[in-house]
Amino acid sequence: MYFKTVDFSKFSSIKVGVPIEVLMLERGDDIPTDRVIIGHANNLLVSSSPSPLMMLSKDFSFIELDEDILTVGCATPTGRVLSFAKKNNLSGFEFISKLPGSMGGMVAMNAGVKNYEIFNILDAVKIDGQWKRKDDIRYDYRFANLNGVATELRFKVKRGFSQILLDELILLRSNQPKTPSAGSAFKNPEGDYAGRLIEAVGLKGFSKGGMQWSEVHANFLVNNGKGTFEEAKYLIELAKDKIFKEFTILLEEEIEIL
């Protein structure tokens, strides 16, 4: 293992943060229990003093296909897995297009689009060195109780990559803001949409400093440049507060605040 300085104002998708020393894990290392594991920071809002952080090194970026068993390292970018699935005519991976991040982040968030989620196609996850079957892990909408560091994922694959489905999903994403964000800020509450609620309390397009509730998609907290952690946190709390007062719905963050 070794340390690397990661500048979160450049590395994170929302472009908020400061340079921080992150412990990089290599193959064979004992996994520390006193650090928070991060992936490629597409779902994170990192303060200037987060808990100690760790990340998987390139040792965990690989894809292996053996007959119908696909094994993927958790540092592998989602885009590489999509390209691999397309090239090798594998079905089920089309939805990960436009879901930026690492495969570790994907499984920890049970990331997905519409009814497509990573747990639908997953067979097993290696957590802290032990393979765990999907059925032995508690998971739900944008949630998985991994309780450790995922280093490898295993899938039983079928042939038949669908270009039609891929095109449909790409079209679906066309309403998303291009400005830096961390994706949806809040999870959708049961039977409603966080974006609708943010709009209903008049916050669509509302800004504080460099941060703004997007005018394109209200549930996206976007950074128009030089936005800070404090401004982002302010907007998140403001939205939760207003929505609770008006609708007695307590929104839960999808974005991970560290």
Residue number, 109 or 247, with CB nearest to ligand FAD: 109
Considering only 20, 54, 146, 235, the residue that binds ligand FAD (CB under 6 A) is 146
Residue number, 182 or 239, with CB nearest to ligand FAD: 182
Binders of ligand FAD: how many residues, by CB under 6 A? 33
What is the nearest approach in angstroms of ligand FAD to the Cβ of residue 147?
Answer: 9
Contact between 42 and ligand FAD per CB under 6 A: yes
Window of 84-92, 109-117, 201-209, 245-253 that interacts with ligand FAD by CB under 6 A: 109-117
| Residues forming beta bridges with residue 19, ordered by sequence position | 7
Residue number, 148 or 244, with CB nearest to ligand FAD: 148
Please indicate whether residue 91 is annotated as part of the active site. no
Q: Quick check: 98 and 42 in contact, CB under 8 A?
A: no
Please indicate whether residue 162 is annotated as part of the active site. no
Contact between 109 and ligand FAD per CB under 6 A: yes
Contact between 188 and ligand FAD per CB under 6 A: no
Contact between 111 and ligand FAD per CB under 6 A: yes
Contact between 73 and ligand FAD per CB under 6 A: no
Please indicate whether residue 184 is annotated as part of the active site. yes
Contact between 100 and ligand FAD per CB under 6 A: yes
- Residue type for position 108: A
Residue number, 132 or 242, with CB nearest to ligand FAD: 132
Residue number, 75 or 157, with CB nearest to ligand FAD: 75
Give DSSP secondary structure letters for the chain: -EEEEEEHHHHSTT----EEEEEEE-TTPPPPSSSEEE-SSSSEE--SSPSPEEEE-GGG--EEEETTEEEEETTSBHHHHHHHHHHTTBSS-GGGTT--SBHHHHHHHT-EETTEEHHHHEEEEEETTEEEEGGGS-EETTEE---S-EEEEEEE--B---HHHHHHHHHHGGGS--SS--SBSBPPPTTS-HHHHHHHTT-TT-EETTEEE-SS-TTBEEE-SS--HHHHHHHHHHHHHHHHHHH-----BSSEE-
Contact between 104 and ligand FAD per CB under 6 A: yes
Contacting residues toward ligand FAD, per CB under 6 A: 13, 36-44, 56, 74, 99-102, 104-106, 108-109, 111-113, 142, 146, 149-150, 176, 181-183, 256
